[in-house]
Structure 1
């Protein structure tokens, strides 16, 4: 079930193993995942608009339930897992192998101070986000004071706790509120983990502490969901209960666990191309089955996101922990220029695609019948990608230059670990 459905959007040796190569060794594959996931998100929201809000009634615009399950497969947990993996790597290296100083978060072998980390996250996210919120809110609220609570909620990332307005203005950005919560949690928990691990004599013990912490962060949201749904009986449409960080942190915990696992393994146990394929296929098949079986109030729906996070964890493990010179044939798709290009602008695409879609529908520039869904999806993709590309070069990229200026070497070392990057 969609994030927006039913709501109108206005054991290892103690000897230290070598740390894994920086994620840039598989950077193209990760960027390819972002690109494919961003395109999937656009199609998903067009599907949702036609399915849930279409004037002809709630009938899927694609008759085949098999195709419908593919189109409606949610990828938000993939973004969470990737983001947490990339940002947790430096903490995991510092905690397990003593690399870095343990003061803050970042990518690669060094660890930034918490202040620097938050600054770099802010310049990646906030200029474009605030611009989009102000523009879209102003268009939809031409007379002041308008819905000022909606504006304040979005500008402070607290709209995720507002049952009525969680999907207003920029509907998909409820997930960005979770990213902000994760950043704050990471700069608190990361240094704590490093300090605790410094007092442990063996690498095995340090790995166990880090893994246990990730497991606890994954289990707690599952317990929350179980109590809320099966004990208290909170309906699944209570968005703050099921979409807040207390319920959705499992995706980030899975990404943190992936970083810990790959640092713990180092170069040991890397997969051959032959072993990678069946593991990847199994993860993708599980994700598809989860989407197909998910129906309001059933088990697959209730625990959709924790299960999806584990499956995305598996897929990313099969992508990242491959022997250096092994070439996995299907990874060619992830490295394709058109896919990585979309991945580059995916944050801008994430921000703008819903307003673009709604304006196209309002202006009558796309077919509104359910039969016109494929054409509508194609039109929205083309225009939203164009808008996202312009937004990247005009707003997002210039803002990123501030990060290079702040870096003493003038190098932007972060690997775009934003929710949609």
Structure 2
């Protein structure tokens, strides 16, 4: 099932390690994941939107299926898992170890600061360019501004196609601030840490199983076609990725520093996860279960890869690859790249600047990247970064931050 991907907006804050953990932050590894995945998303959309179909029907731009599996590799579930993992960590520490957690209003305020300025500007600019006369497709605009287009099977990919997944991100934020405090309060009634771990892990398993059941019933019982986007792209089908990320947060906090992997265990685990993800891309076809349950299966493999990357005693070769400067730089502008790469691609296509046919596939990737990356970099520094400064107006408890010391009264 083809899909566009989302990125959790903005640079990742430094991860607060559990008690006794090494001081080294995993934020650079996360930035590297974002960078690789952002570039992969651009490649995937070049594959998906311009070269998959020709006059004779389905026609992949690469003859070799093993090479094609790499170009058509989807990273959507990585971003769901990664977002849920990072944002659930504080709740997991509060539930299992009694730590404090930021108020919901602070969490939502900072998420809004990171997401909304660039998103709203991009939606208005792109929608206006495609609707030069009013009222235009006003329903499409309203749905995008309210993050409800994921429920509209017709307009889900209008204006900014990839942002259907951003709708799910926003819904997850609301779910997290509702369930997180409930889990913390429930765990504080339990004396044994093992019971608290079991309660949190059980909740994650239930949240993961619900979308599995939905997909199974929709496909095998009701017979809903894969092209019914609202059925297979909505939260009822895709929240499994967030549940997997929440489970990873619970797992890493539960294990603590003693559960960190040595390099000789971490590297094979990462290799196994990458091989599994590649195998899913290679063998997934509409007639098999790997296609039907691609995203829940991919979510599990992503948490294995993240665990083998982040919960380690010391860096491995894989960590050094992720922390390369170019990968971190791509991770820094990943949200802007996610927002702007499709409009840039369409402008290039409409101007006749993208080559066609199989021979044009690789040049098209280069052209789109050469155009989209500078746009994303400018967007980050001119829109994202200045907007992020507003997040400093409030401290961790939600009170207005004082930037100058008070003068003692005379």
TM above 0.5, yes or no, is yes
- 1:31-180 matches, within 5 Å, as 31-54=31-54, 57-100=57-100, 111-180=101-170
Structure 1 residue 251 displacement after superposition: 0.5
- 1:251-330 matches, within 5 Å, as 251-323=241-313, 326-330=314-318
Structure 1 residue 160 displacement after superposition: 0.4
1:157-192 CA-partner distances (Å, limit 9, x unpaired): 110010110000000000000001100000000000
Cα separation, 2, equivalents of 1:160 and 1:21 = 40
**2:10 alignment counterpart:** none
Cα separation, 2, equivalents of 1:297 and 1:142 = 42
54-63 or 138-147, larger mean C-alpha shift: 54-63
Q: What is the number of equivalent residue pairs in this alignment?
A: 388
**1:237 alignment counterpart:** 227
CA pair 266-87 structure 1, distance change in 2 beyond 3 A: same
CA pair 355-18 structure 1, distance change in 2 beyond 3 A: closer
290-299 or 250-259, larger mean C-alpha shift: 290-299
Cα separation, 1, equivalents of 2:155 and 2:23 = 37
2:381 to 389, 393, 418: 393
Structure 1 residue 249 displacement after superposition: 0.4
Q: Which runs of 5+ in 2 are unaligned?
A: 6-16, 404-410
CA pair 410-40 structure 1, distance change in 2 beyond 3 A: farther
**2:339 alignment counterpart:** 351
Instruction: Indicate yes or no: 2:203 matched with 1:209.
Output: no
Cα separation, 2, equivalents of 1:20 and 1:354 = 44
Deviating beyond 3 angstroms after TM superposition, the runs of 4 or more aligned structure 1 residues are 17-24, 52-57, 408-411
Structure 1 residue 49 displacement after superposition: 1.7
1:344-394 CA-partner distances (Å, limit 9, x unpaired): 010000000000011111111221233111011011012111100100000
TM-score by length of 1: 0.89
Structure 1 residue 409 displacement after superposition: 6.1
SS of 2:26's partner is: helix
Contact 2:309–2:318 (8 Å) recurs in 1: no
Structure 1 residue 152 displacement after superposition: 0.6
Structure 1 residue 234 displacement after superposition: 0.8
Q: Which runs of 5+ in 1 are unaligned?
A: 6-16, 101-110, 412-421
Structure 1 residue 54 displacement after superposition: 4.7
Cα separation, 1, equivalents of 2:154 and 2:293 = 24
CA pair 22-312 structure 1, distance change in 2 beyond 3 A: farther
1:340 to 303, 328, 335: 328
Cα separation, 1, equivalents of 2:257 and 2:84 = 21
TM-score by length of 2: 0.91
Cα separation, 1, equivalents of 2:393 and 2:323 = 30
RMSD: 1.8
